[in-house]
Amino acid sequence: MKILIIEDEAGLREVVKQSLEKEKYIVETAHDYISGFDKLAAYDYDCILIDIMLPGGNGLHLVKEIKKLKKQGAVIIISAKDAVDDKVEGLNLGADDYLSKPFHLSELHARIKSAMRRHNHNGNNLIIWKNISLSPEQRTVSINNQELVLNRKEFDLLYYFIINPNRLINKTAIAEYVWGDHTDQADNLDFVYSQIKNLRKKLKDSQAEIDIQAVYGIGYKMT
């Protein structure tokens, strides 16, 4: 799962980034309003952490832009401003949560999981699709109640397809979601084909009631 941190304080930004990467998230960062907007416009994220006081603009305006862009990720405002008016405005604009600085990293992790669960899975800890049961928090998958062992990238791929069922997704979008925003610097996207091939084999061998189909020259879709 992919998270964007929009925070101008370099030390805090790096600490949060490292702590989330230890939890197996893919983490991208932006240090001001403009770079944050550029990331939001170009890429999709499961969760977005936004500071209110940013160089070049107000983080609350970014929350507005997220809704205008029709982005689907959960939004958590993180700010040293603990004013009730800011909290109310942020939540009314569509933010899922508001966390005041300073905060414990463990609380941030819990808020992220809770926000994504409410936002993406209707509050459920498990995602059930056909005969597949997937836990985003535990990073486990079972098919017909039998555990399916996946590596990190295979799990991320399966999660991405399950939350986008029957949607044709191009290879670039898949690479950016699972491997990060810098994949546009790669010479080719053959690594996407390789990982999907391995995932498809595991799903087939486990008698999963889904398939990931290739659409020549475009990308893939889960059916």
Give per-residue pLDDT as tens, 170-216.
888 888 887 776 666 566 778 888 899 999 999 999 999 999 998 88
pLDDT tens track for 11-70: 999 999 999 999 888 899 999 999 999 999 988 898 999 999 999 999 999 999 998 888
- The reply to whether the predicted model has a pTM over 0.95 is no
Cis amide bond preceding 136, omega within 30: no
Q: Around Cβ 92, how many Cβ atoms within 10 Å? A: 10
The span from the CA of 151 to the CA of 129, in Å, is 20
Start-to-end CA distance of the chain, whole Å, equals 21
Phi, psi of 85 (to 5 degrees): -60, -40
Domains and CATH numbers, the chain: 2-121 (3.40.50.2300), 151-222 (1.10.10.10)
Q: Is the pLDDT of residue 121 over 70?
A: no
> H or E stretch including 172?
helix 171-179
- C-alpha to C-alpha distance for 59 and 49, rounded to whole angstroms: 10
Q: Who has greater pLDDT, 158 or 124?
A: 158
Distance of CA 159 to the CA centre of its chain: 10
Nearest-5° Cα angle at 138, 134 to 141: 30
Orientation angle between helical segments 190-205 and 152-162, nearest 10 degrees: 80
The mean pLDDT of 122-138, rounded to a whole number, is: 80
Nearest 5°: phi and psi at 140? -125, 155
Quote the DSSP letter at residue 184: G
Residue 122 has pLDDT above 80, yes or no: no
Tokens of 45: 């994220």
| Three-state SS at 211 | coil
Residues 67-97 have pLDDT tens digits of 888 888 899 998 877 667 777 888 888 888 8
124: pLDDT strictly greater than 70:
no
The residue with greater pLDDT, 102 or 37, is 37
| Separation between Cα atoms, residue 200 and residue 154, nearest integer Å | 9
Look at phi and psi of residue 76 and say left if phi exceeds 0, alpha if psi is from -120 to 50, else beta: beta
Instruction: Please state, in angstroms and rounded to a whole number, the distance separating the CA atoms of residues 186 and 183.
Output: 5
In this predicted structure, what is the pLDDT of residue 139?
87
Measured CA to CA in angstroms, residue 69 lies from 38, 41, 64, 73, 141 at distances of: 12, 7, 9, 11, 32
What integer is the mean pLDDT of 148-165? 89
Angle between helical axes of 84-92 and 59-68 (0-180°, round to 10): 10
